[in-house]
Amino acid sequence: MQFKDAREVLKSLLNQNKELNNLDITISSRALKNEEAIGHPDRKDFPLLTGKEVLLQAEVDGSLGQAFTSDPIAYQGNIPGILDLPAERLGNYALLVATLNAVSRKLGLADHTIHCIDNEPETCAGKISQNVLEKHGLCKIGIIGYQPAILENCARLFGADNIKISDLNRKNVGSLRYGVKVLDGLTDTKEVVEFADVLLITGSILANGTDRSVLDELENKQFYLFGTTCAALANFNHFKRLCPLSR
């Protein structure tokens, strides 16, 4: 599948908007604390709360962008400097994605770049699963990336036997969650894709180095990305995105 990555898109935006290079724009990025990123939801098994991932936030001239990562890096400097960071470190790429989200929001090219909080993720998951049901009817769902509220709502609507899910977190792999066994995100993506009529895919794949291994398996499958990480890249790549309660 043809795919524009964050580095390519950000370079293009800098070339098209020279003022981004010339203005004294500072990007301050840090891992958000749990209460900043997601508030105080009743559910306690979201990845943000279990410590596997954190939410990195970039600010560009008052505009905010985010990206999930397990390798948070603090950075302060100009936008072109982001492109000079060593590409082999995943945390640097997550910083690049968060920056792209912030820049795109500033330019009016992306919205919903800020994570919902408190019990909104629960409501969001209900809206996502209902949206899929209304558009596709009762079907087989593949979920790539463990998001407990989405899994529970999909299992309730479509039936656990009609769900397959994979995740990278070794603590989740092999466990039974809401009647569905969590498969290995490193080895079982093809199985999830082949099983599903419709796929729900975490936008985190666009920041954690697994984007190609997932997207190359999709072929003509119907899929939706979810989350704030993919805000800009979903737009630039014309991918469908479900993230109804983000800001």
Report how far apart, in Å, the C-alpha atoms of 234 and of each of 13, 67, 160, 211, 241 are.
15, 13, 28, 12, 7
Convert the pLDDT of each residue in 26-60 to its tens digit: 555 555 555 544 444 444 444 433 446 788 888 88
72 band by pLDDT with thresholds 50, 70 and 90: confident
Question: Quick one: DSSP state of residue 84?
Answer: T
pLDDT single digits (tens) 162-182: 999 999 888 899 999 999 999
pLDDT (0 to 100) of residue 29: 52
pLDDT, tens only, 11-25: 999 999 988 876 545
CATH architecture label of 120-242: 3-Layer(aba) Sandwich (3.40)
Residue 114 and residue 109: Cα distance in Å, rounded? 15
| Of residues 198, 202, 136, 118, the one with CA closest to residue 168 | 202
Which pLDDT does position 3 carry in this prediction?
87
- Per domain, the residue ranges of the chain are 6-106, 120-242
pLDDT at 45: 47
Q: Which two tokens stand for residue 128?
A: 């996502």
What is the side-by-side order of every strand in the sheet holding 27-31? 63-69, 54-60, 27-31, 75-77
pLDDT at 243 over 50: yes
pTM for this model (two decimals): 0.86
| C-alpha 39 chain-centroid distance | 18
